[in-house]
Amino acid sequence: MTLTRTTCPYCGVGCGVLAGADGTIKGDPDHPANFGRLCSKGSALGETIDLSGRLLAPQIGGEQADWDTALDLVASKFSEAVREHGPDSVAFYVSGQLLTEDYYVANKLMKGFIGSANIDTNSRLCMASSVAGHKRAFGTDTVPNTYSDLEQADLIVLVGSNTAWCHPVLFQRIAAAKAARPSLRVINVDPRMTATRDIADMHLRIRPDGDAALFNGLLAHLVANGHVDADYVAAHVNGFDAAVAEAQASTPTDSGLSTSELDAFYRLWAGTDKVMTLYSQGVNQSVCGSDKVNSILNCHLATGRIGKAGCGPFSLTGQPNAMGGREVGGLANMLANHLDIENADHRDAVQGFWESPTICTQAGLKAVDLFNACADGKIKALWVMSTNPAVSMPDADGVAEAIRNVPFVAVSDIMARTDTGDLADVLLPATGWGEKDGTVTNSERRISRQRAFLPAPGDTRPDWKIISDVAARMGWAEAFNYEGPADVFAEYVALSDAASGFARDLDLSVFADVDYANMIPRQWPDNDSRFFAEGRFYHADGKAKMLPITPPTPIAHTGFHLNTGRIRDQWHTMTRSGKAPKLGSHLAEPYVEVNPADAAALGLGLGDLLRLQSNEGRATFRALVTDRVAKGQLFAPMHWTRQKSSSGTVNSLVTPITDPTSGQPALKAGKVSAERM
């Protein structure tokens, strides 16, 4: 069997996969992210490539249609809305599941040709707070480290990250490093006791959103005990005094930890030179997510523990191509290639390069605001690509209503029935993993190819092609006249070159003239690149910035704090992973974890159902009584859709409040009451 070298379509680790049309799946031993390892989800990919449930032809109003009719309709509805109501009356909501080429073309159409920045992505739900934190501290959205730093660190702090389940191959790398070198310490900071705790030398059970108090306390400890690298700060960092003053004024026990726990953590962190702080959705998905990110970055900047081997803050991205989306400007507040919408020179450069008739001049609507605008009647045409916001957004029922309120909705997907697709006027059948070609960027800035090893089924087409065909019908055929994804990638790289006069991190020159068909995984700006080694950052004066962070004051709530997240063997709304019988056997139905003390107070017995109610909605889950959650807290997975569970979906319960800086929703901060059924 011929095996094709490609990349896993699930998490941001970005593992290399060898895949065959007969369903053979192996880890790619030559891929630097995984060196042949795969997790349960990656290993089961062969069980997910059948055509059951696939959308194989365009549909209009539920009836099969031909491509020309469907594309004409989408183009005419978007053109009509722009003509009658202006460019900001239309919106795209896209996905970290798209390949970079798809993302680039969608962004180009919306920002450079329609002239609005109303394109946002489910990556807003994943790592927007990290982007905001990076930009505030570094002057650019740069992930400083590489995976190989994990093997060189002496202390790895995992904050708000169930790495064992959500980035399993990285967890395997950390576990292997610790087994080979037992002096490597691991600290797990998490309100829950997860599988990640299994390798931790210390578990710090903070209260939800206690992170900033914890890291402010660390900064104050570093100052008080002489651990600041004064020379580094003087040469490379602004904002030190203000950040320290705020840290010294805050109360570390607001983190929910005891003074002895805090002291043990602070001593270990301060006493170890090579510290990596890895963080994920427990940090990002919060009303203070950006501040939590900057409280972590502050500690690394104050000690110069950044830009060196085995040191640094490291944001683990959730999706396979959240990073690629960031790079091509898939977020509503970014332009393309790490250029800024707010910067007139950047806008001119991009518009000139694209030879486009217009360019957006201000940030567009971020995810929650975008669907609020749908509800308010401001959006007249919406195109959802490769994601299922009617389930995955907070206040999922409200979002479904908002989509219903849009006069024209197009949905591109690989599946015929999704909660969002059921609301569409037009369904556009996209090729899926294994059928399409393109690139993705993983958490360590490594660009890898995804390659087709299966024929495109039915009338399916790749997303970049669907978008280009609509753009052509809107009058811009020449600018979207791509032969294939290699053309798109070459243009993306050329834009990076055209913008090379601007001081910024994104440098794709190693991909110029690349042999796209045989491209091997490679980091930008080049392999093993570690940013900030020279202490040069991207603010105008070349320095980094520490920010004064005010942690939230703990507030006592009645009812329960609802945390949501992923489980080991499912992915997002189970469109693909739900097909694999092997994956369904791990945790087979929606459930909610309940602390034994709360279970006793609620009168819960083995296998009882628990109904949760919030201001937004209600849903019912099987109660799993466990001390993995603390008293007063609940945890429920986010994967089950209304179509897969008659008892409701957990995001129906979550209030759509957001971080004011990043716009990222606080998906881990539901407030619910609970009642035994």
Residue 256 backbone phi and psi in degrees, to 5: 95, 0
The least CB distance from residue 44 to ligand SF4, in Å, is 10
Where does this chain touch ligand SF4 (CB under 6 A) — which range of 6-14, 49-57, 449-457, 580-588?
A: 6-14
Distance CA 586, CA 607 (A): 17
Binding of ligand SF4 at residue 168 (CB under 6 A)? yes
Asked if 669 interacts with ligand SF4 (CB under 6 A), we say no
H helices within 288-395, ranges in order? 289-302, 322-328, 344-354, 367-375, 389-392
Q: How far is the CB of 166 from ligand SF4 (least distance, A)?
A: 8
Nearer to ligand SF4, 17 or 390 (CB): 17
Minimum Å gap between C-beta 125 and ligand SF4 is: 18
Distant-in-sequence, close-in-space partners of 601: CB < 8 Å, separation ≥ 6: none
Q: What is the sign of the dihedral through the CA atoms of 354, 357, 359 and 364? A: negative
One of 73, 128, 169, 237 touching ligand SF4 (CB under 6 A):
169
Cα separation, 289 vs 267, whole angstroms = 25
Which tokens is 67 given? 């491509």
- What's the closest the beta carbon of residue 172 comes to ligand SF4, in angstroms? 8
Cβ proximity to ligand SF4: between 167 and 504 the closer is 167
**CA dist 347 to 329, 350, 359, 505, Å?**
12, 5, 7, 17
Is residue 334 a contact partner of residue 504, using CB atoms and an 8 Å limit? no
For 297-307, give one letter per residue: b (16+ CB within 10 A) or e: bbbbbbbbbbb
**Burial of residue 460 (number of CB atoms within 10 Å: 0-12, 13-18, 19+):** buried
* Nearer Cβ to ligand SF4 (20/559): 20
For position 41 contacting ligand SF4 by CB under 6 A, the verdict is yes
Any residues with CB less than 8 A from the CB of 489 and at least 6 apart, and which? 100, 101, 438, 439, 511, 514, 516
Residues 6+ positions from 528 with CB-CB distance below 8 Å = 146, 148
Between 250 and 321, name the residue whose CB sits nearer to ligand SF4: 321
Task: Kindly state the smallest distance separating residue 441's Cβ from ligand SF4, in Å.
Answer: 13
CB of 11 to ligand SF4, least distance (A): 3
Cβ atoms of 33 and 25 within 8 Å: the answer is no
Q: Are 284 and 129 in contact (CB under 8 A)?
A: yes
Q: Name the packing angle between helices 100-108 and 463-471 (round to 10°).
A: 20
Of all residues in this chain, which one has the CB nearest to ligand SF4 in the complex?
Answer: 42
Per CB under 6 A, the segment of 11-19, 151-159, 177-185, 626-634 that binds ligand SF4 is 11-19
Under the binding rule (CB under 6 A), the answer on residue 551 touching ligand SF4 is no
> Given the rule CB under 6 A, which of 7-15, 482-490, 652-660, 663-671 is the region that contacts ligand SF4?
7-15
Binding mask 111-150 for ligand SF4 (x = CB under 6 A): ----------------------------------------
Residue 164 near residue 171 (C-beta atoms within 8 A): yes
252 binds ligand SF4 (CB under 6 A): no
Closest distance between ligand SF4 and the C-beta of residue 566, in Å? 10
Rounded Cα distance, 619 and 653, in Å: 7
- Does 440 bind ligand SF4 (CB under 6 A)? Our answer is no
H-assigned helices in 452-520? 463-471, 485-498
Q: Which of 437, 440, 452 is nearest to 524 (CA)?
A: 440
Contact window for ligand SF4 (CB under 6 A) among 34-42, 459-467, 614-622, 646-654? 34-42
- Of positions 6, 11, 386, 614, contacts ligand SF4 by CB under 6 A: 11
Window of 36-44, 236-244, 349-357, 514-522 that interacts with ligand SF4 by CB under 6 A: 36-44
Contact between 103 and 328 (Cβ < 8 Å): yes
Stretch that binds ligand SF4, among 32-40, 93-101, 199-207, 538-546 (CB under 6 A): 32-40
Of 314, 304, 306, 305, which is closest to residue 279 (Cα–Cα)? 314
Q: Could you tell me how far CA 9 lies from the centroid of its own chain?
A: 13
In whole angstroms, the minimum distance from the beta carbon of 9 to ligand SF4 comes to: 8
Residue 168 CB, shortest distance to ligand SF4, in Å, is: 5
Q: Pick the closer one to ligand SF4 by CB: 39 or 508.
A: 39
Query: Does the footprint of ligand SF4 cover residue 590 (CB under 6 A)?
Result: no
Q: How far is the CB of 32 from ligand SF4 (least distance, A)?
A: 13
Q: Is the CB of residue 471 less than 8 Å from the CB of residue 356?
A: no
32 binds ligand SF4, rule: CB under 6 A: no
**Shortest separation between residue 634's beta carbon and ligand SF4, angstroms:** 26
x-or-dash string of contact with ligand SF4, 42-81, rule CB under 6 A:
x---------------------------------------
Distance of CA 444 to the CA centre of its chain: 13
Task: Enter the DSSP assignment of 120.
Answer: E
Quick one: which of 5, 15, 99, 222 contacts ligand SF4 (CB under 6 A)? 15
Distance of closest approach, residue 238 Cβ to ligand SF4, in angstroms: 37
Under rule CB under 6 A, how many of the chain's residues touch ligand SF4?
14
294 versus 392: smaller Cβ distance to ligand SF4:
392
Tell me the pairing of strands 202-204 and 185-189: parallel
Strands across the sheet containing 522-523: 438-441, 446-450, 522-523
13 binds ligand SF4 (CB under 6 A): yes
Q: Is 14 in the site for ligand SF4 (CB under 6 A)?
A: yes
Cβ closest to ligand SF4, residue 39 vs residue 567 = 39
Check residue 10 for interaction with ligand SF4 (CB under 6 A).
Answer: yes
Looking at 19, 25, 38, 257, which residue binds ligand SF4 (CB under 6 A)?
Answer: 38
Rounded Cα distance between 648 and 640, Å, is 8
In the complex, the residues that contact ligand SF4 under the rule CB under 6 A are: 8, 10-11, 13-15, 34, 38-39, 41-42, 167-169
